[in-house]
Structure 1
Amino acid sequence: MSVSETVTRWRYRIVPDHVLGELLAKRWIDNAIPVLILLVVIATFGSAIPDFFTAASVGNLARQWGEFGLLVLALMIVMVGGGIDLSVGSTFALGNIVALALMNVAGLPVPAVVIGTLLCGAAVGLVNGVLVGYLRLRAFLTTLVTLIIVRAVVDMLLLTYSVRIAAVFPDSDAWFFLGEGYFLGIPLSVIVTGVIAILLHLVLSRTRVGWHVMATGGSRRSAYNVGIPVRRVICTTYIVSGTLSALAGLLFASRLGGAGADTGIGLEIAALTAAVLGGNSLGGGRGSAAKAVIGSITVMLMVNSLVRLGITSGANSLLLGFVLLLAVAIDVRWLKNRHKLLSEVYVSPTYAALPPPPGMGEGLPYALNDRLRPVERIGLDRIDGPEDVILDDADNIYTGNRTGDIVRFLAPDYARQEVYVHIGGRPLGLAFARNGSLICCVGGMGLYAVRPDRSIEKLTDETNRSLFSVIDDSRLRLADDLDIAPDGRIFFSEATIRYEMHDWPVDCLESRGNGRIICFDPNTGTTRTVLKNLVFPNGICMTHDGRSFLFAETWGARVSRYYFDGPRAGTVEPVIPDLPGFPDNINRASDGTYWLALVGMRTPSLDLALRMPGFRKRMARRTAPDEWLYPNINTGCIVRFDEAGTILETLWDFGGENHPMITSMREHKGHLYIGGIFNNRIGRLRLDGADATWTGTRSYWGDA
Structure 2
Amino acid sequence: MSFLTTLILLFFFICSPSAAILLNKLLLPTPITGPESLAFDRNGEGPYVSSSDGRIFKYMATGPRNGSFVEYGYSSPMRNKTICDGLSDFSDIQATICGRPLGLGFNHQTNVLYVTDAYFGLVSIGPNGGAPTRLVTGVRGTPFRFLDALDVDPETGIVYFAQSSKNFQLRNYIALFNSNDSSGSLYRYDPRTNQTTELLSDLAFPAGVAASNDGSFVLVTEFLGRRIQRFWLKGPRANTSDIFAQLTGSPDNIKRNPRNEFWVAVNNLLGPPPPPLPPILPSAVRINDLGITSQVMLLADEFVTQPVSEVHEFNGTLYGGSLFTSYAAVFTTP
Q: TM-score, normalised by structure 1?
A: 0.40
Alignment of 1:52-71 (within 5 A): none
Q: What is residue 565 of structure 1 aligned with on the other side?
A: 234
Q: Is the 8 A contact 2:149 2:162 kept in 1?
A: yes
1:506 corresponds to: 175
**Post-superposition shift, 1:381?**
6.1
Q: Which residue of 1 aligns with 2:83?
A: none
Q: Distance in 2 between matches of 1:603 and 1:687?
A: 24
| 1:447 partner SS | strand
Alignment deviations for residues 386-419 of structure 1 (CA, whole Å, 9 cap, x no partner) = 0001122242221111111011111149523211
Whether 2:124 is the aligned partner of 1:449: answer yes
2:206 corresponds to which of 518, 524, 537: 537
Q: Which of the numbers 410, 415, 421 marks the counterpart of 2:73?
A: 421
State how far apart, in whole Å, the 2-side matches of 1:572 and 1:362 are.
Answer: 28
Q: CA deviation at 1:589?
A: 1.9
CA contact (8 A) 1:462 1:527 kept: no
- Aligned partners of 1:629, 1:400: CA distance in 2, in Å? 25
CA distance in 2, matches of 1:390, 1:657: 19
Is 2:14 the counterpart of 1:364? yes
C-alpha separation in 1, matches of 2:117 and 2:222: 19
1:378 to 13, 26, 29: 26
CA separation of 1:451 and 1:396: change in aligned 2, threshold 3 A: same
Q: Aligned partners of 1:362 and 1:683: how far apart in 2? A: 23
Aligned partner of residue 510 in structure 1, secondary structure: coil
Distance in 1 separating the partners of 2:229 and 2:12: 27
| 1:661 counterpart = 2:307 | yes
Separation in 1, partners of 2:169, 2:103: 16
- What residue ranges of structure 1 are gaps of 5+ in the alignment? 1-353, 466-473, 607-627, 689-704
Q: Which amino acid aligns with 1:385?
A: G
CA distance in 1, matches of 2:301, 2:104: 29
- Distance in 2 separating the partners of 1:636 and 1:419: 29
Counterpart for residue 136 of structure 2? 460
Describe the shift of the 1:429–1:484 C-alpha distance in structure 2 as closer, same or farther (beyond 3 A).
same
- 2:110 corresponds in structure 1 to 435
Q: 1:523 aligns with which of 189, 192, 195?
A: 192
- Between structures 1 and 2, the one with greater strand share: 2
**Cα distance in 2 between the residues matched to 1:636 and 1:535:** 20
Q: Greater relative contact order (Cα 8 A, min sep 6): structure 1 or 2?
A: 2
**Contact 2:279–2:305 (Cα < 8 Å) also in 1:** no
Q: Deviations over 1:474-506 (max 9, x none)?
A: 211111111123323211000011111201231
- Alignment-derived partner of residue 292 in structure 2: 646
- Gaps (5+ residues) in structure 2? 77-98
> Match for 2:40 among 391, 404, 426?
391
- Separation in structure 2 between the aligned mates of residue 568 and residue 420 of structure 1, nearest angstrom: 40
**C-alpha distance in 2, partners of 1:463/1:589?**
31
Kept in 1, the 8 Å contact 2:20–2:331? The answer is: no
Name the residue aligned to 1:475.
143
Q: Which has the higher helix share?
A: 1
Give the aligned partner of residue 215 of structure 2: 546
The residue number in structure 2 matching 1:682 is 328
CA contact (8 A) 2:268 2:282 kept: yes
Provide, for residues 230-255 of structure 1, a one-character-per-residue CA deviation record: whole Å limited to 9, x for no partner: xxxxxxxxxxxxxxxxxxxxxxxxxx
Which residue of structure 1 lines up, in the alignment, with residue 268 of structure 2?
601
**3-state secondary structure, aligned to 2:178:** helix
Q: 1:536·1:555 contact (CA, 8 Å) conserved in 2? A: yes
Residue 408 of structure 1, aligned match among 51, 54, 58 = 58
Query: Under a length normalisation based on structure 2, what TM-score does the superposition of the two structures give?
Result: 0.82
Output one character per residue of 1:627-673: Cα deviation in whole Å (capped at 9) or x when no partner.
x5666364311000112221111111347665842101211112111
| Counterpart contact for 2:282–2:303, Cα < 8 Å | no
**Per the alignment, in what secondary structure is the counterpart of residue 504 of structure 1?**
helix
Per-residue CA shift, 1:275-310, capped at 9, x if unaligned? Answer: xxxxxxxxxxxxxxxxxxxxxxxxxxxxxxxxxxxx
| Paired amino acid for 1:635 | L
Distance 1:451 1:581, change over 3 A: same
Letter in 2 for 1:458: R
Provide closer, same or farther for how the CA distance between residues 601 and 363 of structure 1 changes in structure 2, counting only shifts above 3 A: closer
Between the aligned partners of 1:657 and 1:551, the Cα distance in structure 2 is: 24
In 2, distance between residues paired with 1:416 and 1:545? 35
Contact 2:20 2:332 in 1 (8 A): no
Q: Separation in 2 of the partners of 1:502 and 1:477?
A: 11
SS in 2 for 1:503: helix
Question: Post-superposition shift, 1:548?
Answer: 0.7
